[in-house]
Amino acid sequence: MSGLKKMLNPEVTAVVGVSTSNPFSPGNVIFRKLCFENGLKTYPINPKGGLVEGHKVYRSIEEAPSDIDLVVISVPAKYVPEVLEQCGEKGIKSVIVVSGGFSETGGTGKTLQHEIVEIANKHKMTMVGPNCIGVFVPDRLDTFFLPSERVARPRKGTVAIISQSGGWLIERLEEFSGRDVGIAAAVSIGNQAQTKVADFIEFFGKEHSVNVILAYIEGFGKDEGRHFVKVARKITPKKPIIVLKGGESEAGHRATRSHTSSLAGDIAITSAAFRQCGVIQAVDEDEVMAYSKAFSFKPKPMKGPNIGCLTVSGGHGVIASDEADSYGLIFPSFNEEEQAFLREVMTPAYQGIASFRNPCDLTGSASDIDYERVLDRMLQLDKIDAALLLLLPYAPGISLQIGARVANVAKGYDKTVVAYVPNLKKYEVIIRGFELNGIPCGDTIEEAVQMLNGIRKYTRYLQRIGVVK
């Protein structure tokens, strides 16, 4: 839709529904963010007129200046059609309706929703919502009606998030911020009355600044599922789409109907459709985080299921082996010749105590240079498709520079490398060394393996359609 570009990058905005008596109303919160935090020229609208935060309040969209790119509407549902009509007559092309009281309530709400869609379509407006919290673009735009001090805001990055649930989206922003995973944009689409999740997927699919698209979907309306598959099939050869599907259980199906009035659909049919068009379906929020973070780095393809693992702790290697097996990933055993090939570059004093069967336990005596040299040899082996590095920086020979040093080795090979490093402040330098050089770090062993699983899933799809050999 043509209005999405302007919606996510407006120069001038307006908020319909500010209050001259309640500074904490949703409209006032949105106005302060747009005006003071985003630094956008923003017009407050209220039929009573007056002043809000020292700014003149216009009595209607009609009365406001004509340079508006985006209008955020926060008024009772029954007034939304009138406001939309005024926006259309003024030539405004982007509108976000945060108001509730539409199809999610049934009855007259459904009729109202149908009416606002007709108005938006008549005037060729792009409308997001209703029943949503809006849009967040780091360093640019925040229409959420939640106070900034109560919601984390991730840094600018390469993950685009689309969600039918505002609450789920807020939780993801908290998690992404805590894990320092940057986002390109976060969009709450609510009832997706006019603009659908597929429209945003198509839009972000063309944006060079977006590496991966994440969507939380509760269901599809009539013919929406077919349209989603058609759009996804165009995008997935170029960049991954991750979906967490809500409403999979019978109880979830009922909750979906009362939340956004979507039709949850049959789980088997939906999952099969996702696989067909290359969508990576996450089973839970842990996988959502693992896949999102991994693909934010544009990882190299994982052309087979075979993983070589380096660790300084045998127990961690065992745990990683179990996790990998549950995903159908393999730690192939190294034969005596391969073990000797790896062993000969290890520090001589520790060659005799290290194990190279795979996982390769370099022991707590290992140093940075051991990791570098053994990884370099391991990535040369044709039987290895990816490397998993279990970094426990407690070992005295491991320095804070190991992330950057090992990542430099990985750059020489066309193979996936993922690391596990405990997510502790004292190891930030190690994590940064990896991630600034393109290697994602899981903060648990399970997450690191999940990253590899997501990369393998996506590569298998690319192999199937002939993009990757």
Spatial distance between the Cα atoms of 251 and 262, rounded to a whole number of angstroms:
14
Structure tokens at 285: 């929020």
| Angle (deg, nearest 10), helices 285-296 and 166-178 | 60
Cα–Cα distances in angstroms (integers) from residue 77 to residues 1, 94, 228, 257, 373, in the given order: 24, 18, 28, 19, 65
Taking Cα atoms as reference points, which of 149, 163, 160, 144 lies closest to residue 202?
A: 160
CB 289 within 8 A of CB 161: no
Q: Would you call 117 helix, strand, or coil by DSSP? A: helix
How confident is the model over 110-155, as pLDDT tens digits? 899 999 999 999 999 999 999 999 999 999 999 999 988 888 899 9
- Residue 1 has a pLDDT of 59
- Residue 264 has a pLDDT of 47
Query: What structural domains and CATH numbers belong to the chain?
Result: 1-131 (3.40.50.720), 152-296 (3.40.50.261), 300-464 (3.40.50.261)
CB 385 within 8 A of CB 415: yes
Compute how many other C-beta atoms are within 10 angstroms of the C-beta atom of residue 22: 10
Question: What's the predicted TM-score (pTM) here?
Answer: 0.93
Type and span of the H or E element at 442: strand 441-442
Which stretches in the chain have pLDDT values below 50?
249-254, 256-264
- Residue 27 has a pLDDT of 97
Distance of alpha carbon 224 from its chain centroid, rounded? 22
Spatial distance between the Cα atoms of 445 and 101, rounded to a whole number of angstroms:
44
- Residue 265 has a pLDDT of 54
Kind of pairing between the strands at 360-361 and 386-390 = unpaired
Kind of pairing between the strands at 55-56 and 51-52 = antiparallel
Can you list the pairs that 423-429 forms with residues at least 24 positions away whose Cβ atoms lie under 8 Å? Answer: 423/179, 427/393, 427/400, 429/400, 429/401, 429/403
Cα–Cα distances in angstroms (integers) from residue 274 to residues 198, 199, 238, in the given order: 13, 17, 16
**What radius of gyration, in Å, describes the C-alpha atoms of the chain?**
25
